Amino acid sequence: MDKINLANLPTEIIKLEKLSKKYNKNIYLKRDDFTGTETSGNKVRKLEYSIAEALNNKCNCIVTVGALQSNHCRATAAVCARLGLECHLVLTGSIKDFEGNLFLDYILGANIHFVSEDSSVDEELEKIARKLTEKGKKVYKIPVGASNTIGTYGYINTYNEILEQENKLNINFDLISIPVGSGGTYAGLWYGNYKTGNKKKILGFSVNNSKEEFKEKIIDILNTIDNEIKIYDTININDSYIGEGYAVATREELEFYYDIASEEGVVFDPCYTGKAFRGLIKEIEKGNIKEDNILFIHTGGLMGWTKEQRSIIYEIAKGRKSNEI
Those residues whose C-beta lies under 8 Å from the C-beta of residue 95, and which sit 6 or more positions away, are 68, 102, 114
What is the distance between the alpha carbons of residues 243 and 97, in angstroms, rounded to a whole number? 23
Instruction: Specify whether 119 is catalytic.
Output: no
* Closest among 247, 86, 310 to 76, alpha carbons compared: 86
Burial grade of 94 (CB within 10 A; 0-12, 13-18, 19 or more): exposed
- Quick check: 96 and 122 in contact, CB under 8 A? no
CB 63 within 8 A of CB 51: no
CA distances, 271 to each of 67, 188, 223, 242, 299 (Å): 11, 21, 28, 9, 11
DSSP, collapsed to helix, strand or coil, labels residue 11 as: coil
142: Cα separation from own chain's centroid = 15
Contact 139, 145 (CB under 8 A): no
Taken in order 242, 244, 245, 248, is the CA torsion positive or negative?
Answer: negative
Strands 61-67 vs 86-92: parallel, antiparallel or unpaired: parallel
Closest by alpha carbon to 206, among 223, 185, 189?
A: 185
CA distance 221 to 53: 17
Catalytic residue among 40, 50, 70, 147: 70
Catalytic residue positions? 70
